[in-house]
Structure 1
């Protein structure tokens, strides 16, 4: 019996060569619409799907392969006598190979001016149905959805060794492909409908790279990215130089980018173990980096630096004088890149943290489940602040308070940040109590804490943190407020002449 192959693809890459190879292997080709035209233009004989179904393509091609002649040919079990008898009685024949890829739904919804109608018209119905039928019957049908697999399939057919395991792997790829496709459609229409907590949630990601290992060498890891392009993210960044990124590199680099995204003026952010260890802002990038470095010249060693302006020669020379794992910036001038690239292993990455195109969701896996929440995009302005002490902060103190608030948002809770003169001076991260975090931050700041400001990611349950700050010489504090004992902290500030403002917004980061 002549073997038959059904080809219906939106991606025409390698199609003509694949079709010619199938002809040489004795396959009869069946095809639809544009795929059929491409094959015919290559001078290859191909039958129309309508010849098989004895039914025309209708509704602008919406209905063409949804027919028993197609799906019985795909689903028939060759070792089941009753199946084969029924197929013969109906006048249908088996289909032995299917090559299908789907309408470009992802590419369609990625367009800025896409309409809902355009999206709907690019929801493929017949394609996924054929793929699922063929994949279900993978023991008897070779199913291919990726042009990258054409050559391997042809070679296997020539050798006559398309094993059960290989066919099953092709079927698995099909089910991943259709699940990915359906997840994109579900996410798109759920977004249009505005549902915030649907009864089920299906997210889909595309593989970027396999990593050498995870947090530790005994853990395996891979990096995936969201389908919707976010040019301000590491997932869509361009690595210009250096070693491959590790799992921990990616975590730290993402943390640095998120802090850098807070600032519109020139800023430099140094991160270690997902916490900012030094942040500086200035009128130019070189000065901003100098401030970030001075904030903690010890912790920055082996760290990650994110910058929000083009790197020039002066900044590059500063960066090259320190051992850094990763440097990230929107651009590098030619001389700056030449200086940085002299270090073989440093990862130089081109990414602009000011570009934010995220979905606004944060996903965290927990044992047996998934937590989903809005990203913490909360911001405060001077007009949002409420002065609760007898002394109001000066204009300069206000400026430093807001800067410290932008940073403390990205420090693991319990978090305290000491700042002054447009840079961080001390960071206390991830402590079990707030006064402990303050002691670490103030200890790091040392004498520079005198006249500086303090930010706390959450309210003070007791006045002990204020008392510790006062002994170190802190002059102004920013915190959310909201404790039953707020007045105790306010009284302590008044006693020591400290200005304190409430934001009304908490920034826990667990």
Structure 2
């Protein structure tokens, strides 16, 4: 029975893209078409022969359309096992005719909740009940029923029906799998929305859904497969929704690094440029213009920026583009590019240019997922902000106004550096970054070595407290004038004493920023 002839189809769609042409072709092939509500009205208007759903069920569409297809005459026609004599007898006894093809897509729940300030009642009315039920019934019984949820599959189905009058078993199985992915994603989005509405953050079950952006050539390494997915409601200002204006296809590492660069640049309201390598910043600069910010980011580490990812929080202009063009970069991301800047940068064939749209700092922390073998960890984004008012001066000497400004800048950067993390800052730019070492003093030495002579009268930020005074001692040798760190060690007094001995101002934030 796998080669069931398509004699009867049920069509009920919210998204009517391509449905008229599809239905007309089925009609020409002699397929009987059942339809509902607005779909039936449209098809009849376009000259398609349609049987109204009420003619099949013997019951009117009621409750403002909430109830129309939940009826044995529909679901019996979808669920009957055609090879089962008992099933055949039962549907015959109840005057139920089998349905061979179901074409359904669902109420636009995602589009509805994407609208700003949508009323809760409107969101609820756009939860489809009958549609998913028909899809699931047909997909369960896909040995006998073909089910289409995606307009992209119309041509394939028509091609097979025209060729043989039926739809191949392999095609029906693929269509059924797509249906269950679709209904699972639909229900996941509803569950996410309602869970957020009642304020539950870590429910007993955690269901999420993502939509494919693209397959990737490979993952972190060429022997690893990979793909890129985005959240269904992802807004502007992120790499998942960025528009690629030029260059090669994005790679796994490009996307990962780009996301890291963007997270850092969102920390700043003033013009800022961030350069990233392997998800760690190698240069961060702020200035009065994006050109000045880029000059500082480049000067932070002219060696490591080679082959890096650039993120800017202002449009890229001609002057900045001319400078960017001079070195090899993988990606440049910005809210936009001037026409002159695009013309200049497009001369580099492989350079990826991503237009982000408006970049907005997060007011609300999203939940982030990290996979572990056999499970997943979830946590809120680290969106904690520190202001001058939050700082506690731990040393005899208070930081100067200029030092406070530089300390807060350094704190915004160190938050995004792999732990153990140390960042040195001077003149609104990073001058040394020590990342991912197994001990904190090791990170400090790396940052200080990178800074060289620039370290004199710089400031230092540490993502976590000092368990001993060795990092302060290294900072003093380098001429660091002020330190920002969380505090909270049982041996804080040792570090405070060392700072006092060297005339270093040190402030505590009472907040740490581990990043693994």
- Residue 366 in structure 1 maps to residue 372 in structure 2: yes
- Residue 314 in structure 1 maps to residue 319 in structure 2: yes
Q: Name the counterpart of 2:126.
A: 122
The 1-side partners of 2:50 and 2:93 are apart by 25
- Residue 103 in structure 1 maps to residue 107 in structure 2: yes
Of 77, 83, 87, 1:73 maps to 77
The 2-side partners of 1:356 and 1:405 are apart by 16
> What stretches of structure 2 of length at least 5 have no aligned partner?
none
Of 173, 176, 184, 2:181 maps to 176
- Residue 51 in structure 1 maps to residue 51 in structure 2: no
CA deviation map 1:200-252 (0-9, x unaligned) = 01000111000000000000100000011320110011111101100000000
The 1-side partners of 2:293 and 2:50 are apart by 66
Q: 1:262 to 1:2 in 2, by over 3 A?
A: closer
Q: Name the counterpart of 2:381.
A: 375
Q: Name the counterpart of 1:242.
A: 247
Q: Name the counterpart of 1:471.
A: 477
- Residue 408 in structure 1 maps to residue 409 in structure 2: no
Secondary structure of residue in 2 paired with 1:234: coil
- What TM-score do the two structures reach when normalised by structure 1? 0.99
CA apart distance, 1:285: 1.1
- Residue 437 in structure 1 maps to residue 469 in structure 2: no
Question: Which shifted more, 15-24 or 66-75?
Answer: 15-24
- Asked if structure 2 preserves the Cα contact closer than 8 Å seen for 1:442 and 1:472, the reply is yes
- Residue 197 in structure 1 maps to residue 202 in structure 2: yes
- Residue 34 in structure 1 maps to residue 46 in structure 2: no
The 1-side partners of 2:490 and 2:200 are apart by 36
Structure 1 residues 56-455: aligned runs within 5 Å: 56-160=60-164, 162-352=167-357, 354-356=359-361, 360-455=366-461
The 4+ residue runs of structure 1 with deviation greater than 4 A are 356-359
> What stretches of structure 1 of length at least 5 have no aligned partner?
none
CA apart distance, 1:354: 2.8
Q: Name the counterpart of 2:500.
A: 494
The 2-side partners of 1:137 and 1:73 are apart by 10
- Asked if structure 1 preserves the Cα contact closer than 8 Å seen for 2:209 and 2:232, the reply is yes
CA deviation map 1:266-294 (0-9, x unaligned) = 11100000000000111111111111111
CA apart distance, 1:360: 1.4
Secondary structure of residue in 2 paired with 1:279: strand
CA apart distance, 1:2: 8.2
The 2-side partners of 1:229 and 1:305 are apart by 22
The 2-side partners of 1:76 and 1:86 are apart by 9
- Asked if structure 2 preserves the Cα contact closer than 8 Å seen for 1:252 and 1:271, the reply is yes
Secondary structure of residue in 2 paired with 1:30: strand
Q: Name the counterpart of 1:14.
A: 18
Give me the CA root mean square deviation.
Answer: 1.1
- What TM-score do the two structures reach when normalised by structure 2? 0.97
- Asked if structure 1 preserves the Cα contact closer than 8 Å seen for 2:420 and 2:440, the reply is yes
Secondary structure of residue in 2 paired with 1:235: coil
Q: Name the counterpart of 2:512.
A: 506
Q: How many residues align?
A: 510
The 2-side partners of 1:208 and 1:137 are apart by 30
